Amino acid sequence: MANNVYFGNSMLDKVSVNVNNGLQGIVLGARSTTKDGQQNVTAINCSAAQFPSGPNPDKGKFGMGGGTNLVTIQYDGLESSSFNYEVTISGLSGRDLYFYVFENTLVGQDDTGRSTGITIKALQ
Instruction: Single out the residue of 30, 23, 6, 3 nearest to residue 106, CA to CA.
Output: 6
The yes-or-no verdict on residue 109 having pLDDT over 90 is yes
Give CA separation, 11 vs 87, 89, 101, 115, in Å.
20, 24, 7, 21
Residue 2 confidence (pLDDT): 60
pTM: 0.91
At residue 71, φ and ψ (nearest 5 deg) are -110, 125
For the cut 70, the answer to whether the pLDDT of residue 77 exceeds it is: no
Strand order in the sheet with 68-75: 26-28, 15-19, 68-75, 83-89, 118-122
Q: pLDDT at residue 66 above 80? A: no
**Residue pLDDT, tens place only, 17-65:** 999 999 999 999 999 999 999 999 999 999 999 999 999 999 999 999 8
Band of residue 79 on the pLDDT scale cut at 50, 70, 90: low
C-alpha separations of 102 from 11, 95, 99 in Å:
6, 23, 10
Alpha-carbon distances of 70 from 84, 88, 96, 118, rounded to whole Å: 7, 9, 18, 13
Per-residue pLDDT band for 101 (boundaries 50, 70, 90) equals very high
Complete edge-to-edge strand list for the sheet that includes strand 105-110: 47-51, 5-9, 97-102, 105-110
Domain region containing 104: 5-122
Number of domains, the chain? 1
Contact 72, 83 (CB under 8 A): yes
Please give the pLDDT value at position 99: 97
pLDDT for residue 14 is more than 80: yes
Round the average pLDDT of the chain to a whole number and report it.
91
